Structure 1
Amino acid sequence: MAPHTPPPLGSGPGDPGRCSISGSVAGLDTGRRTATTLGCGPAAEAASSVSRSRKGTATEGVVIASVEPRTPAARAGLSAGDRIVAVNGQTLRDAIDFQFHAADDRLELLVERDQALLPPIALTRRGPDLGVTLAAPRPGEIATCANKCVFCFVHQLPRGLRKSLYVKDDDYRLSFLHGNYITLSDLDETALARIVEQRLSPLYISVHATDPALRHRLLGRPRHSAEILPRMERLAKAAIRMHAQIVLCPDLNDGEQLRRTVFDLVPLHPHVTTVAVVPVGLTRHRQRLPALRTLTAGEARSLIHVVEGWQRHFLATLDTRFVFLADEIYLLAGRDVPSSDAYEDFPVEEDGIGLVRRFEDEFVRACRRAKSGGRGAPRLCRVRPRTTDASAHPPRGAPSAGPGEHEGGVSPLRTSVGGIDSPPMKSVTIVTGEMYGPRMAALVAALDEPRGRVTVAPVPNELFGPGIGVAGLLSGRDIQRHLASLDGLGDEVLVPSITVRDGDGVFLDDLTPADLARDLGVSITLVEPTGAALLHAIQHAVAPRVTEERPRSSGARRGLGGVGAMSGPPAKRESEERPGSPGPLPSVGGVWGAMSGPPTR
C-alpha cells in the first residue's frame, strides 16, 4: 500500500466512492471517446492507458494525449506525448496507478520526453482536475478474452468491418475504469491482490450462471476456470462492490437455472449490488456457431412476471429490487417499461436497463420546461405519451398489422407527427432503430403542434439482421439505403451520435455523416443521446428563430459538409458509455435504440 491512502476514487461532486470516469479504448469503438480528461469531478473523466513495451526505453508509465491550458499540468510544463513514468517515487503501470498515486495535493512526477527522462517535475493540485488527458491503449495492450462463449457477439460479426471491432477484452482495469463486464476466468493472484489493495470498485462481472457445469458450457472453458462464486466471495470479503450480469439464453440458463443464479448471488449482497438480466442478441452471421434462439414475446412476458415477484421479495428483505431486466425485454413483451422509481438510482443504466425510462422522462421534462420563444414557437407538451399497449410497440417478428407495415410491425415509411402551422415550412426526419421506432413516434407526438413536421424513420438493420433493432448498431450504409428509399426527408435529418465513433465520427462501416449528407442531399445533424438534446435539435430544426435565443451547447457545430453536431444539454449519468469489445455494447442503442446491444461474454 502506498504511504498515502487516497479517499475512494471519485469522492467529490460526482458519484461518491466512484471516479467520474468515461472514455474509450482507442479503436474499440461503438461510439466512445478515444481519450478523456483525467481526474475526479463532474467535469473530469479518466481514460485507460495500459503499459506498453518499447525497445530500449521504459516499459512503464502513461502517455499524455493532451494538456488543458491554465491547469496545474499546463503550469508544470507537461505536454502531449510526454510519458509519466512515476508519481512520488511510485512507478506507474497504467492509468489506475496514476489515479491511485496522484491523489495527493503535492506531486513529484518523473516524466520521459523524446525517450529521455526530464528532471523531476513538481506539481501542486488545485482542485480535482489536473488537466491531463491520457492516450488510450491499443487493442494489443489490453487483456483479451480467452473464453469461447456460445453467444459471443464478436464471433457473430461479418467480415470487412473496422479491425478494432473484433477485439474482445476481459480486462479488470477496463471493468473498473469503464464498466466493461469481465468473466474473472483468467484473473490471477496478482490481479486479485491489486484489486483489493487499490480498492478497484465497483467491478462489472459477467456471471451468466452459477452452476459450474452450465457456466463451463456457456463460456467454453475448463470447469475450474468457470467457477465464479469463490472468486466473487473473495472480492466481497474485501468489500469490492460488484454488478453482475446474466445474458439470458433460452433453453440454457433461463427458468430454474436463472432462479438458482440470482438467489446464489443474494448472500453476497450488498457487495453484489445488482443483477442485470439481458437477452441474448443474435445476428445473421452465426454460421458454424452453436444453435441459439432469442426470447419469444410470451417468454418475455412470463419472465417479467417472475422477476417482478422476485423484486417485491428483495425489496422487502434487502431494501432493493436487486435484479433488473433490460429494456429490450419489456419492449419485446409489448409492455411499458417501469417507472423511474423501479430503477432506483439507475445503477446499471449503461447495460440497457432504464435507458428508455430515463430518456423519455427527460424528453417530457425538457418539453414541459420549454418556454415560448415568440410567435409560432413550440408550446409545452400535452401529456406523457401513452405507449403501454402491445400495439404501440409490437414485438419483433409480429405479423403485419396492416397495409404499409412490414413484418416487424414497424412501418417502413416514416411516421408523421404534427403539422405545419405557419411559414417558413420546416420539417425534420429522426433516424432510429426498428425496435424503438414506435415509441419514438409516440414520444414526438407529445409535442403540442410543433412548428413544422417531425417524422420518425426506423431503419432496418441489414448489416446484422432483423434480430438487432437498436440504433447504435446501425451502419452508415443501412441508414443511407433506407433514407434514400423515402420520399421527402425534409430540411434536416437527425441521427443519434451513438451511431458514430467519437473522435473520427465514422459509422461501423467507416462511412461518415458527410458521406450521407452528400449522397442524400440533405443536412445531417448528429444529436447526443439525451432526451433534452433531441428536443433541442427538433426545435432548432423546425423553429430556428426560437432556438437562436437559447444558449447553444459548446459541442454544437454546423456547416461541415452538410453535417452538424449538437450535444444539447448534458444528461446526468452515474457512468458514461464504456468502451471495450462490442459487448454488451453498453448503451449502444443509446438514446434512440434505448437499450444495450448484445453482450459478447
Structure 2
Amino acid sequence: MAKSGVKIEHVHTSTPAYKAGLKEGDIILSINRHSIKDVLDLMFYTDEDFLKITVEREGKKISFNIKKKAQPLGIEVEPFRVKRCVNKCLFCFVEQLPKGLRKSLYVKDEDYRASFLYGNYITLTNLTQKDYERIKKLRLSPLYISVHATDPEIRNTLLQNFEAPPIMMELKKLARMKIRMHTQVVLCPGFNDGKVLERTILELHKLYPYVSSIAIVPVGLTKYHKNGLTPVTKNKAEEVIGVVEKFQKRFRKKHGISFVYLADEFYIKAKMSFPPINIYDDFPQIENGVGMVPLFMDKAKKLRIPSMKLKQRFVTFTGTSFYPYLYEFIERLKKKNIPIDVYPLKNNMFGETVTVTGLLTGEDIIRGLAQYVEPGDFLLIPDVTMKDSDGIFIDNLKMSDIEKILKIKAIKISSEPVYLLKEIKNQEKYCGQ
C-alpha cells in the first residue's frame, strides 16, 4: 500500500495508459494537479479527455500527457484499506461465525467508498466532516445505508453503539447534497417491528426521492447466535407483509413505485405467493434478496427450452428455501429429455435455520450429495456459494476437492435460468450425444 498516491497493479495493452508509458508499480500522485488518494479519485479525475498524470517511479517524479477521449484509461490500481466497523450489532452475522472459515468473511467493513463501489451497507456511524465533503465533491451516489430503525434509542440498542448520531440527521445531510440512498431494515422481532417499523418507513419516506428505496430483510440467526434475538416466524412474516403491502399501495398511488420492498424470505416463511413482478419496479435491492426468486421464476417461465438427447447426467443443488422454485424449473428441463436432478442441502455449519444457497459450505455439498451423485456426473455449482472468491467455498474447500471426493466434474454457473441452460448446452460435446 502506497503511503501517498495509489499504486498501479496492472496496465492493459493498447489503452491510453499503455501507449503513454505508464507501468505496473508506478504510484499515481496527481491527475490534472488533483491529489490522488484512492480509486475514487482516479474515477472522478480521469473523466476528462486530456490528462496530465504525475507518478512516482523508482523515487523519481515523472509526468505523462494523455489524450484519452472517450476511452477508459486502462489501468487497475491497488485496493484501498477498508475502514472497519466498530458497532457491536445484536444481529451481526460476522459475530455469529465459527473459526476456520475464509478470512474475508471476518472483515466487518464500514466504508462509504465500498458502499458506493460495491453496494455494501454502512451505518453512517464513523463518517467525519471531511468524509461528507468528499462524498459531495465526488458525487458518490447512490450509497447503501443500514437504518434498522429511525427511533434513535432502538437503533442504538440494535447497533450496541450508544454514541451513534441520530440516523435521520445523517440522512438529511446526504439528502441536502442530493445523494441518492438505498436503505435497509434488518427486522428483529420485538425490537423494530410493529409501530417502530411503520414509523421508520414513514420517516424515511419524507426524504424521498433521495431515499430511493427501503428493503426489509429478516434477521439471520445461526446456531452460534448468543444475543437472544428470535427469528421471524410464519405469523410475524404475515404481519410484516400486511404492513408493507399497505404502504406499497399508498406509495404506488403517490409516486408510481413501491418504494419499500420485502425480502423474498418473508413470503417463503409466510408460505404466501409472491406479489406481481411489477411490484419490484427496477429491482433496486435485488442483491439484498429482494425480488430474486420472483425474477428467477419470471425468467424461467419465459425461457424457451429445446429438446436434447444427452447421455451424461447433470446434478445441481440449492438451499432449502429456494428448492421448491428451482425444482419447478428443473422438472421443465427433464420434460425436454435433459437428464438433471436438483437436491436441497441442509446447512450443517450454521444450523438448519440458515436456508440460503450462498452460505452452504464445501462440506455441506459433499455430505449432502454423496448419496445421490455417481462417478462421471456433471455437478453444476451456483456461483453464490463462492462469492468474492476464486473457486473457494466459505470453509476453504475448493471445487477441485469436490471433484476429487465425489468423483465428478464440477462447473461453476450463474444462478440465472438462462445460464444454467447455457452451461448444459456447452457441455454437449462432453456428453456423448
Q: One fold, TM greater than 0.5? A: yes
* Pick aligned residue for 2:211 from 260, 263, 272: 272
User: Shift in Å at residue 528 of structure 1?
Assistant: 1.8
Give the alignment of 1:76-225 within 5 angstroms.
76-113=20-57, 115-137=58-80, 141-222=81-162, 224-225=163-164
* Pick aligned residue for 2:189 from 226, 250, 254: 250
- Between the two proteins, the alignment pairs up a number of residues equal to 433
Match for residue 17 of structure 1?
none
Match for residue 516 of structure 1?
402
1-structure distance, mates of 2:8, 2:269 = 45
Identity %: 39
Asked if structure 1 preserves the Cα contact closer than 8 Å seen for 2:7 and 2:78, the reply is yes
User: Shift in Å at residue 64 of structure 1?
Assistant: 2.3
Give 3-state SS (helix, strand or coil) of 1:127's partner.
Answer: coil
User: Shift in Å at residue 346 of structure 1?
Assistant: 0.9
Determine whether 1:498 maps to 2:384.
yes
Give 3-state SS (helix, strand or coil) of 1:130's partner.
Answer: coil
Give 3-state SS (helix, strand or coil) of 1:173's partner.
Answer: helix
User: Shift in Å at residue 460 of structure 1?
Assistant: 1.0
Q: Amino acid of the residue matched to residue 467 of structure 1? A: T
Asked if structure 1 preserves the Cα contact closer than 8 Å seen for 2:382 and 2:412, the reply is yes
2-structure distance, mates of 1:433, 1:258 = 29
Question: Which has the larger displacement, 201-210 or 522-531?
Answer: 522-531
User: Shift in Å at residue 498 of structure 1?
Assistant: 2.0
User: Shift in Å at residue 545 of structure 1?
Assistant: 8.4
Determine whether 1:262 maps to 2:148.
no
* Pick aligned residue for 2:18 from 74, 80, 83: 74
Match for residue 344 of structure 2?
458
Give the alignment of 1:324-339 within 5 angstroms.
324-339=261-276
Identify if the C-alpha distance between structure 1 residues 474 and 546 changes in structure 2 by more than 3 Å, giving closer, same or farther.
Answer: closer
Give 3-state SS (helix, strand or coil) of 1:510's partner.
Answer: coil
2-structure distance, mates of 1:64, 1:453 = 48
Q: Amino acid of the residue matched to residue 159 of structure 1? A: K
Q: Amino acid of the residue matched to residue 304 of structure 1? A: I
Question: Which has the larger displacement, 450-459 or 202-211?
Answer: 450-459
Gaps (5+ residues) in structure 2?
none
Asked if structure 1 preserves the Cα contact closer than 8 Å seen for 2:56 and 2:62, the reply is no
Asked if structure 1 preserves the Cα contact closer than 8 Å seen for 2:7 and 2:25, the reply is yes
User: Shift in Å at residue 167 of structure 1?
Assistant: 1.1
2-structure distance, mates of 1:121, 1:242 = 37
2-structure distance, mates of 1:484, 1:71 = 49
Asked if structure 2 preserves the Cα contact closer than 8 Å seen for 1:149 and 1:220, the reply is yes
Asked if structure 2 preserves the Cα contact closer than 8 Å seen for 1:63 and 1:84, the reply is yes
User: Shift in Å at residue 171 of structure 1?
Assistant: 0.6
1-structure distance, mates of 2:112, 2:216 = 21
Asked if structure 2 preserves the Cα contact closer than 8 Å seen for 1:298 and 1:333, the reply is yes
Asked if structure 2 preserves the Cα contact closer than 8 Å seen for 1:210 and 1:227, the reply is yes
User: Shift in Å at residue 128 of structure 1?
Assistant: 4.3
* Pick aligned residue for 2:251 from 283, 296, 314: 314
Give 3-state SS (helix, strand or coil) of 2:268's partner.
Answer: helix
User: Shift in Å at residue 163 of structure 1?
Assistant: 2.5
Structure of higher RCO (CA pairs closer than 8 Å, 6+ residues apart): 1
Gaps (5+ residues) in structure 1?
1-51, 54-58, 379-421, 549-601
2-structure distance, mates of 1:318, 1:192 = 29
Match for residue 447 of structure 1?
333
Asked if structure 1 preserves the Cα contact closer than 8 Å seen for 2:213 and 2:260, the reply is yes
* Pick aligned residue for 1:535 from 421, 424, 427: 421
Identify if the C-alpha distance between structure 1 residues 185 and 535 changes in structure 2 by more than 3 Å, giving closer, same or farther.
Answer: same
Give the alignment of 1:397-416 within 5 angstroms.
none
Q: Which has the higher helix share?
A: 2
Asked if structure 2 preserves the Cα contact closer than 8 Å seen for 1:154 and 1:165, the reply is yes
Q: Amino acid of the residue matched to residue 234 of structure 1? A: K
Asked if structure 1 preserves the Cα contact closer than 8 Å seen for 2:312 and 2:339, the reply is yes
Give 3-state SS (helix, strand or coil) of 2:79's partner.
Answer: coil
2-structure distance, mates of 1:88, 1:443 = 54
Determine whether 1:485 maps to 2:371.
yes
Identify if the C-alpha distance between structure 1 residues 483 and 101 changes in structure 2 by more than 3 Å, giving closer, same or farther.
Answer: same
* Pick aligned residue for 2:236 from 299, 315, 334: 299
Asked if structure 1 preserves the Cα contact closer than 8 Å seen for 2:264 and 2:293, the reply is yes
Asked if structure 2 preserves the Cα contact closer than 8 Å seen for 1:63 and 1:83, the reply is yes
State the Cα RMSD in Å: 2.1
2-structure distance, mates of 1:127, 1:547 = 47
2-structure distance, mates of 1:151, 1:87 = 43
Identify if the C-alpha distance between structure 1 residues 521 and 448 changes in structure 2 by more than 3 Å, giving closer, same or farther.
Answer: closer
Q: Deviations over 1:421-447 (max 9, x none)?
A: x6x522111121111112110122223
Identify if the C-alpha distance between structure 1 residues 545 and 225 changes in structure 2 by more than 3 Å, giving closer, same or farther.
Answer: closer
1-structure distance, mates of 2:294, 2:343 = 21
User: Shift in Å at residue 135 of structure 1?
Assistant: 2.6
User: Shift in Å at residue 547 of structure 1?
Assistant: 12
Match for residue 63 of structure 1?
7
